[in-house]
């Protein structure tokens, strides 16, 4: 009995160690792929980044595609935790739309992903690479946009937005603003574009621009 219990304990410990190692590998993969791209991921680069052997990394993934799919899934968990879940606690309608957009800008500003939004970069990179990885990225992207559409519909129902507001069009506008801000922020490393994005969103939603969102010039020269 004692021997069997000891074996079971060792088995659980090995599994726990394996889970921690896999999580560390995926964390590094998410970070590296926002800089080098999903196609740039390699066992060698990950092993070097983590100080592991190539065999140690390869043992957790059957193929490069398996690694890429797991990386997209891990990035989705992070994005949901950093952007989506906090926004869902906001009041329905326009406050929630604002929370989604502010959460997106904030996760860029805090550099949750070192190379900008993981899914913005992955969508551009994998858009023409048809296959399971592209489908996984597209699934997450379409799910996020659909979530924005649903919140717009709620805002219309609550009469926070005009009755003729087109949910699909507004979702496209807001998502376009987020992506444009991400591109400029990554390209120029300029946090002011995030403040600009916040102002654009607020004005589109019919909200007053707060002092935090104003530039010094706007504060001194009100229109």
> Which CATH number covers residue 140?
1.10.357.10
Q: Is residue 113 part of a domain?
A: yes
Q: Which residues contact 25 (CB under 8 A, 6 or more apart)?
A: 46, 50, 52, 57, 60
The angle formed by the CA atoms of residues 32, 110 and 178, to the nearest 5 degrees, is: 85
What is the domain count for the chain? 1
Q: Is residue 87 part of a domain?
A: yes
Please compute the mean of the pLDDT values over residues 195-212 and round it to a whole number.
85
The model's pTM is 0.84
d(CA 108, CA 120): 11
Percent of residues, the chain, with pLDDT higher than 70: 85
Tokens of 115: 């190379």
Tokens of 109: 């500003």
Q: Is residue 89 part of a domain?
A: yes
Q: Is residue 141 part of a domain?
A: yes
* pLDDT tens digits, 56-70: 887 888 888 999 999
Q: Is residue 118 part of a domain?
A: yes
Answer whether 30's CB lies under 8 Å from 118's CB: yes
Closest CA to 181 of 82, 107, 84: 107
Q: Is residue 202 part of a domain?
A: yes
The predicted pLDDT at position 219 comes to 40
Q: Is residue 205 part of a domain?
A: yes
């Amino acid at each position: 009995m004692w021997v069997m219990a000891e074996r079971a304990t060792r088995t659980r410990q090995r599994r726990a160690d394996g889970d921690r190692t896999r999580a560390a590998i995926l964390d590094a993969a998410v970070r590296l792929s926002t800089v080098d791209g999903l196609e740039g991921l390699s066992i060698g680069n990950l092993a070097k980044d983590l100080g592991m052997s190539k065999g140690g990394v390869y043992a957790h993934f059957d193929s490069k595609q398996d690694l890429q799919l797991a990386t997209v899934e891990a990035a989705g968990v992070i994005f949901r935790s950093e952007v989506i879940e906090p926004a869902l606690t906001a009041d329905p309608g326009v406050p929630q739309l604002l929370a989604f957009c502010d959460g997106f800008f904030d996760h860029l500003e805090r550099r949750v992903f070192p190379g900008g939004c993981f899914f913005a970069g992955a969508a551009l990179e994998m858009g023409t690479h048809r296959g399971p990885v592209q489908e996984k990225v597209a699934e997450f992207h379409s799910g996020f946009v659909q979530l924005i559409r649903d919140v717009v519909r709620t805002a219309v129902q609550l009469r926070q937005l005009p009755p003729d507001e087109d949910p699909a069009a507004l979702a496209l506008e807001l998502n376009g603003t987020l992506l444009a801000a991400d591109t400029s922020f990554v390209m120029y490393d300029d946090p002011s574009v995030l403040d600009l994005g916040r102002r654009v969103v607020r004005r589109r939603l019919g909200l007053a621009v707060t002092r935090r969102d104003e530039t010094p010039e706007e504060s001194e020269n009100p229109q």
